[in-house]
Chain A
């Protein structure tokens, strides 16, 4: 893959996906750092959250990311046999296999969730993972389906108190219409 940022499939409205990456401290974070110090060009849509180990990444982190507006997520850590804590990535592999499959069953497009092993020396792999994830999510569009679950501003009546009774009737109508 070249250094050029792939913008194919960019939506006409200029949609740029927001992607949250949960990466382990020892391999992928260092690999991403290497990508940066090597000045590799890559899509800038990814916000990295560094954790000690993929074994520390609870699927709730991903759910929370979607809740807060992420269009896609990346989970990445040490290759099998490379875990700093010996087995954290093996545990994570099982956990995310189940998570991946059940999310697909519930109706979340698996292309919104990228899982990868990126070692400290694989700066260029990190670039490829990021670019591919961004391309995929850009093609899928914003994750409106998840955002639509958020509580709406339903125009709840103002709390009773001084002036509440005296409020003009139109205020209520206005709140309802908004």
Chain B
């Protein structure tokens, strides 16, 4: 931890950055922190409660953050993938940020704990199992010691997707309509998503109104399908949409399914390499087209 404090202090003192965005300890667990005073850098923490993907603060529409000046951002591996996503889509200049990577051994599903606890099959965020980017590469500084593999959750996301797919179409429809019907249309999934950066979301367009704005099952279905599709090949599996969802819609299952689709069809795996073109917006002449007559 001293490593992080010292680096943050140096970066702020020598003027390399004007703000460090990281995590701090609070009454209800870890929370995002914006450190501008070198004297405050000791507040920074990194432990299993640091679940938040802070890349959401790099959204170019958040000009209040940009106004703070050059940003130093603490990132886990999954977060670094989101930075790569923004770079890939020209939403960010690499030179405008300093990335402080932390070696990560997985995080908790639930961040609101007074103290960090060790990960177990019961408390680990399921997405952490099988993570391929526990040492982010797209960083200027990489801190911390090598971490062990995250534990296997009781049921992995892949297993849950598989179990759902084994059920007949009608049951899947019943499952998703029930889940989506709970949606209260708070758009927390969109607001927290580091890659939902449209200046004006299609859900807010009213001429014509593509997506019913009230929270009834029809509009909810339309919204949730659209949210998923717009993240196809872009979602970095940081899990923030599901964690933020106040009604517990299992968005990680849809997101994982999308990852499987682009992987099987286009051999694409999301990475923190911004040069690796995303599959939607790209094409090959010989793309699979078995579903087309």
Q: Which residues of A are at the interface with B, using a C-beta cutoff of 8 A?
A: 59-60, 63-64, 67, 80-81, 87, 90-91, 93-110, 114-117, 129, 132, 145-146, 148-151
Distance (Å) between the CB of B233 and the closest chain A CB?
8
Complex: chain A residue closest to B264, CB-CB:
A101
B218 x A151 contact (CB < 8 A): yes
Q: How many A-B residue pairs have CB under 8 A?
A: 119
For B173, what are the chain A residues with a Cβ–Cβ distance below 8 Å?
106-108, 145
Q: Can you list 6 pairs linking A and B with CB atoms under 8 Å apart?
A: A60-B226, A63-B221, A94-B287, A97-B261, A98-B232, A145-B173
B176 at the interface (CB under 8 A from A): yes
**Cβ contact of B292, chosen from A93, A148, A151, cutoff 8 A:** A93
For B226, what are the chain A residues with a Cβ–Cβ distance below 8 Å?
59-60, 63
Complex: chain B residue closest to A113, CB-CB:
B291
Complex: chain A residue closest to B284, CB-CB:
A90
A98 x B225 contact (CB < 8 A): no
**Alpha-carbon separation in the docked complex, A93 to B286 (Å):** 11
For A97, what are the chain B residues with a Cβ–Cβ distance below 8 Å?
261, 265, 287-289, 291
B214 x A151 contact (CB < 8 A): yes
Interface string of B170-208 (1 = CB under 8 A from A): 111111110000000000000000000000001000000
A102 x B292 contact (CB < 8 A): no
- Known contacts A60-B210, A102-B257; is A115 also within 8 Å of B222 by CB? no
**Alpha-carbon separation in the docked complex, A99 to B226 (Å):** 10
If over half of B's interface residues share one DSSP class (helix, strand or loop), that class is named, otherwise mixed; here it is helix
- Known contacts A98-B232, A98-B280, A105-B165; is A93 also within 8 Å of B225 by CB? no
Complex: chain A residue closest to B289, CB-CB:
A93
For B221, what are the chain A residues with a Cβ–Cβ distance below 8 Å?
63, 146, 149
Q: Which residues of B are at the interface with A, using a C-beta cutoff of 8 A?
A: 164-165, 169-177, 202, 210-212, 214, 216-218, 221-222, 225-226, 228-229, 232-233, 254, 257-258, 261-262, 265-266, 279-285, 287-289, 291-293
**Alpha-carbon separation in the docked complex, A157 to B248 (Å):** 32
B229 x A91 contact (CB < 8 A): no
Distance (Å) between the CB of A93 and the closest chain B CB?
6
**Alpha-carbon separation in the docked complex, A116 to B218 (Å):** 27
- Known contacts A116-B293, A151-B216; is A94 also within 8 Å of B266 by CB? yes
B261 x A101 contact (CB < 8 A): yes
Complex: chain B residue closest to A90, CB-CB:
B283
Distance (Å) between the CB of A82 and the closest chain B CB?
12
For B265, what are the chain A residues with a Cβ–Cβ distance below 8 Å?
94, 97-98, 101
A116 x B283 contact (CB < 8 A): no
Distance (Å) between the CB of A94 and the closest chain B CB?
6
B291 x A110 contact (CB < 8 A): yes
For B172, what are the chain A residues with a Cβ–Cβ distance below 8 Å?
105-107
A129 x B291 contact (CB < 8 A): no
**Alpha-carbon separation in the docked complex, A95 to B265 (Å):** 11
For A129, what are the chain B residues with a Cβ–Cβ distance below 8 Å?
293
A149 x B217 contact (CB < 8 A): yes
Complex: chain B residue closest to A79, CB-CB:
B292
Complex: chain A residue closest to B279, CB-CB:
A94
Closest 8 CB pairs of A and B: A107-B173, A107-B172, A90-B283, A149-B218, A116-B293, A149-B217, A115-B292, A151-B216
A90 x B280 contact (CB < 8 A): no
For A107, what are the chain B residues with a Cβ–Cβ distance below 8 Å?
169-177
**Alpha-carbon separation in the docked complex, A95 to B56 (Å):** 25
**Alpha-carbon separation in the docked complex, A94 to B287 (Å):** 8
Distance (Å) between the CB of A91 and the closest chain B CB?
6
**Alpha-carbon separation in the docked complex, A96 to B229 (Å):** 10
**Alpha-carbon separation in the docked complex, A103 to B287 (Å):** 20
A98 x B262 contact (CB < 8 A): yes
**Alpha-carbon separation in the docked complex, A81 to B289 (Å):** 14
A98 x B222 contact (CB < 8 A): no
